[in-house]
Amino acid sequence: WGRLTFIVTVPPKSAKKPRWTSLEIGLLTIVSLLFIVILALIVLFATKRTDSGEWRVEKLIEQSLCLSVKQAMNLLVS
């Protein structure tokens, strides 16, 4: 009598690709460091004292408030 034979083929598992390549990790690190440096420079610039001894932040706030008041006055006049 004949024998019935089943042949089961299982495809080999493909090697899992890493989520991040070393190039991507390196680029992300460089961009993150540049962002931190730029942020630090902005903070240093904003907190620098002016020649008159005022903090630059105070000067910037004062200028922005003056501009806001001027714009409000222009709206009221027109």
Q: What is the DSSP string of 20-74?
A: S-HHHHHHHHHHHHHHHHHHHHHHHHHT-B-TTS-BHHHHHHHHHHHHHHHHHHH
Position 15 in a domain: no
Count up the domains in the chain and report the number.
1
Q: What is the pLDDT of residue 33?
A: 95
Name the residue range of residue 50's domain. 22-77
Q: What is the pLDDT of residue 15?
A: 67
Position 71 in a domain: yes
- Stretches where the chain sits below pLDDT 50 are none
Q: What is the pLDDT of residue 71?
A: 73
Position 4 in a domain: no
Strand partners, 49: 55
Position 14 in a domain: no
The CA–CA distances, whole Å, from 52 to 48, 49, 55, 58, 59 equal: 11, 8, 9, 12, 10
Position 58 in a domain: yes
pLDDT tens string 24-42 = 999 999 999 999 999 998 8
